[in-house]
Amino acid sequence: MKECEHYNLPQGQEYRVWSKAILRQKVGHDQVLNDYLVEDEHYSINQKTLALYDFQQKPLLGKYKSVIFDNQAGIILSYNSTRSLFTSFSKECLLAGLEFQREFARKINLKNHNTIATGRLAYFSTRSYNSGNIDWVALHQMVAFQPLNLSAVAFKTVSYGDSDYIFAFDNCSRYIREQIVNGLFYNHALYQLASVHLERILGWHVMATKGKSLIDQPEYFHPHEPLTNLSLKHILANLLDKKQQRYGHYLANFYEFPELVESHRIIRQISQRPDTLY
């Protein structure tokens, strides 16, 4: 496997721009590219992930459901769809899973679900991730983006050694620019929320970081109300309450006994151990 410094992506102008169409043209046909291809059915999304193209409907070479660019691992050929990969990521890595991501988005008045973020990592889907198998890009690895038309966009990566890359996506949402900006703001807001909790509540020291990627470019953080009224603990507590309420409603519907909703609420309330030293 070839390497350039500690990166494992092909070099040269002919390998700088990527799209689904280019992948279909090159994978399995380009001998130089073969040295960077890695078949990995156990790949996990991580901070080195750059972009994911989904081929669920028409598998690449008849068998690969997604292609992932990873600046260290190479170009990953996966039997798993992007939906499967991000489901695993949410279950194994995300605090309180995707339900927290949706709840926090609601708290800051964002309706579309395009971004899965941690505050320092932000993965953006070219359509709502509730809509199925779609393409993704890691915003924390990108320095710029440019809509190409109403339903296409291209992203430019940070530099890896002497090279950078362009990832183009089509069949995107018609509001793609607005959704990218919202995704960057969402990640920024989550970073602020987590930093406040760690510093003011837990006494940690959070080092301010300033990188070159999109997630550190404040011009994309549109004007917003102060986030000081938000609390990570309260959001998680409200999320737990909503899960319990949903369980009560499902239980009542299953047994066709509406009174179970209120009974479940009362039982849960009296069964909770008081959060007190007394």
Report the chain's C-alpha Rg in angstroms: 22
Confidence of residue 4 (pLDDT cuts 50, 70, 90): very low
- CA 215, CA 257: separation in Å to the nearest integer? 49
Residue 73 neighbours by CB under 8 Å, 6+ apart: 8, 38, 40, 43, 48
Confidence of residue 2 (pLDDT cuts 50, 70, 90): very low
- CA 117, CA 101: separation in Å to the nearest integer? 8
Q: The tokens of 266 are what?
A: 């009362």
The residues that bridge with 142 in the sheet, in sequence order, are 157
Domain boundaries, the chain: 13-191, 232-271
Taken in order 106, 112, 116, 117, is the CA torsion positive or negative? negative
- CA 202, CA 195: separation in Å to the nearest integer? 10
SS3 185: helix
Summarised one tens digit per residue, pLDDT across range 12-31 is: 999 999 999 999 999 999 99
Summarised one tens digit per residue, pLDDT across range 49-108 is: 999 999 999 999 999 999 999 999 999 999 999 999 999 999 999 888 888 999 899 888
Task: Output the CA–CA distances (angstroms, integers) from residue 265 to 149, 244, 273, in the order listed.
Answer: 51, 8, 15
pTM, rounded to two decimals = 0.87
Summarised one tens digit per residue, pLDDT across range 200-251 is: 888 888 887 778 899 999 888 766 666 767 888 888 888 888 877 887 788 8
Burial of 245 (0-12, 13-18, 19+ CB in 10 A): middle
Residue for token pair 């750059």:
50
